[in-house]
Homo-oligomer: A and B are copies of this chain.
């Protein structure tokens, strides 16, 4: 087999190619630090993104650099790992080759961890008017839309346009939707409240629309209730059991009712990256590759699929698309590979260990569910902050985020209220 990349003295070592440097892929790469192999970690970005805090970039509380760390920096000292920035075009299982941009890269073992993006349930045309929140660019685009809506509302004298500009609709009542709606409410009612002369930002309408019967479906009923009440106190209108039937530039349709809005954000539905298509393997309804008990593809033990790209069953239930699940899969695959390379016994099948669920709803309110313990209020909120700071990568990000939060807590302000151009050629 021809190895195109990398060329080194250690060509004889098995070549592990990992696609995607999210929680799953990066964890796998790090867990292989002491294994005798060559690792090539490929991502189309030059940074690892701490997605759980992306909504805070979208709502001007944090800067992109606070939650993104260069992949090369993270793996600087891991000499068996190379990082390649590029876009995967396809996978040739026969020849064991991945095509990245124009280059072919041979592999002995392949780990596919290319994540997920938002799914629009067949309405892909809604994406342009109701952007999702998966990437840094999504977050800065949403930040731009939110802040521009207030600016335009201030400068227009058309009352109905002003009303539409000051109506913000978040679709999807999972953790992202809940946290986003709460953050938008705080932005309008606290950070911006004294900054305008003609409009009153605290009069903005914020709607959170969920098709199911309650928010945070993965949490116990009582905590869903807590979240809905906390959002209502912040001034968010929580609409349950309401399906979105259309999204246009003018607003959203809920059943037969039309809500005029210029800022619709999509936090519902997930579609896996095209990995299953590249691999030509079986997939579930969300497009995730169906893997066996050791997270490898049935019939292709040298190919693993992990993280949000994989459809995994553990304890008879699907494993949720959460950062801890992705990390556990990364660690597990590294164990399988280590055993294979050293000729040891393979580990037992992957088992997901649920550590708990956390969601925050603005200042001093959050819900936490650890199975044996349910928390709400200030303590849960504090815990949420500690956990998120602790899991950030690098002392710098931790210090930065902690300081931003302290500052925001003390002043009710937001530190990153910049409307930057969507295109560098804008002027």
Query: Interface of A with B (CB < 8 Å)?
Result: 6, 44-47, 63-66, 68, 70, 72-73, 76-77, 82-86, 101, 103, 136-138, 140-141, 147, 151, 154-155, 192, 194-198, 396, 399-400, 403, 407, 411, 413, 415-427
In-complex Cβ contact of A415 among B84, B196, B396 (8 A): B396
Q: Given known contacts A85-B155, A141-B424, A422-B423, what 7 new A-B pairs fall within 8 Å (CB)?
A: A63-B64, A136-B420, A137-B421, A140-B420, A140-B424, A396-B411, A399-B407
Expressed in whole angstroms, the minimum distance between the Cβ of A70 and any Cβ of chain B is 4
**Which residues of the partner chain B approach A47 to less than 8 Å between Cβ atoms?**
417-419
- Chain B neighbourhood of A72, CB < 8 A: 192, 195-196
**Complex contact A136–B418 (CB within 8 A):** yes
Given A147-B46, A399-B403, A407-B396, CB of A68 within 8 Å of CB of B418: yes
Whose C-beta in chain B lies nearest to the C-beta of A42? B155
Whether the pair A418, B82 counts as a contact (CB closer than 8 A) is no
CA distance A306 to B197 in the complex (A): 26
Q: How far is the CA of A76 from the CA of B63 in the complex (A)?
A: 22
Say whether, besides A65-B418, A418-B65, A154 and B84 are in contact (CB < 8 Å): yes
A76 → chain B, closest Cβ, in Å?
5
Whole-angstrom distance from the CB of A395 to the nearest CB of chain B? 8
With A76-B195, A195-B76, A403-B399 given, is the CB distance from A417 to B155 under 8 Å? Answer: no
Q: 25 pairs across A/B with beta carbons < 8 Å?
A: A6-B198, A46-B151, A46-B417, A47-B418, A63-B63, A63-B65, A63-B416, A65-B415, A65-B418, A72-B196, A73-B417, A76-B194, A77-B194, A82-B197, A82-B198, A84-B154, A85-B154, A137-B420, A137-B421, A137-B424, A396-B411, A396-B415, A400-B415, A403-B403, A422-B425
Determine how close the nearest CB of chain B comes to the CB of A63; give it in whole angstroms.
4
Q: How far is the CA of A313 from the CA of B420 in the complex (A)?
A: 35
A77 to B411, alpha carbons, bound, how many Å? 15
Beta-carbon nearest neighbor of A69 in chain B: B417
| Chain B residues, Cβ within 8 Å of A84 | 154-155
Q: Are B197 and A70 in contact (CB under 8 A)?
A: no
Q: Which residues of B contact A155 (CB under 8 A)?
A: 84-86, 101, 103
Residues in B whose Cβ lies below 8 Å from that of A416: 63, 65
Which single residue of chain B is at the shortest CB-CB distance from A411? B396
Give the nearest-CB partner of A421 in chain B.
B137
Report yes or no: A197 in contact with B6, Cβ–Cβ below 8 A.
yes
Report which residue of A63, A70, A101, A425 has the largest number of chain B beta carbons within 10 angstroms of its beta carbon.
Answer: A70
- Residue from B46, B73, B138, B424 within 8 A of A419 (CB atoms): B46
Residues of B within 8 A of A70 (CB): 195, 417-418
Residue numbers in B under 8 Å from A400 (CB-CB): 400, 403, 415
Once the chains are docked, how many angstroms separate the CA of A196 from the CA of B6?
12
Residues on B with beta carbons closer than 8 Å to the beta carbon of A425: 422
> Considering only CB atoms, which chain B residue lies closest to A66 in the complex?
B63
A103 to B152 CA separation, bound complex (whole angstroms): 12
Interface centre among A46, A101, A400, by most chain B C-beta atoms within 10 angstroms, is A46
Contact residues in B for A426 (Cβ distance below 8 Å): 137
A423 and B421 CA atoms in complex are apart in Å by: 8
Also in contact, A64 and B418, with CB within 8 A (given A137-B426, A151-B85, A423-B424): yes
For A76, the closest partner residue in chain B by CB is: B194
Kindly provide the distance from the CB of A164 to the nearest chain B CB, expressed in whole angstroms.
18
Q: How far is the CA of A351 from the CA of B396 in the complex (A)?
A: 45
